[in-house]
Amino acid sequence: MRLTELRKGDRGTIVRIQADPELRNRLHSFGIIPGEELEVKGCSLARQTMEIDVDGTLIALRKEEAEKIEVRKEEDA
């Protein structure tokens, strides 16, 4: 599923990033890399932007960019 489908408080693992090399490099340099875990910390109105936590770094993403990140949601035990 896509990152945009996660809600606030959801956790997941990054599976794949489907973006052009430029954006992928950018995401990489922030630590957004397949295999890493993330948690959705919050969304702005109309879910235009979202805030995620990857390895202790808080990162803000626009909807368009978040859609390119494929994640596997961690189901609550």
| Chain residues that interact with other proteins, rule: CB under 8 A | 21-33, 41-46, 48-49, 51, 55-62, 64-65
Distances 61 to 75, 76, 77 between C-alpha atoms, Å = 23, 24, 28
Amino acid 36 reads: E
**CA–CA distance, 1 with 49 (Å, rounded to integer):** 18
Find the shortest distance in angstroms from Cβ 71 to other proteins: 16
24 or 73, CB closer to other proteins?
24
Find the shortest distance in angstroms from Cβ 41 to other proteins: 7
Find the shortest distance in angstroms from Cβ 64 to other proteins: 7
Structure tokens at 31: 């630590």
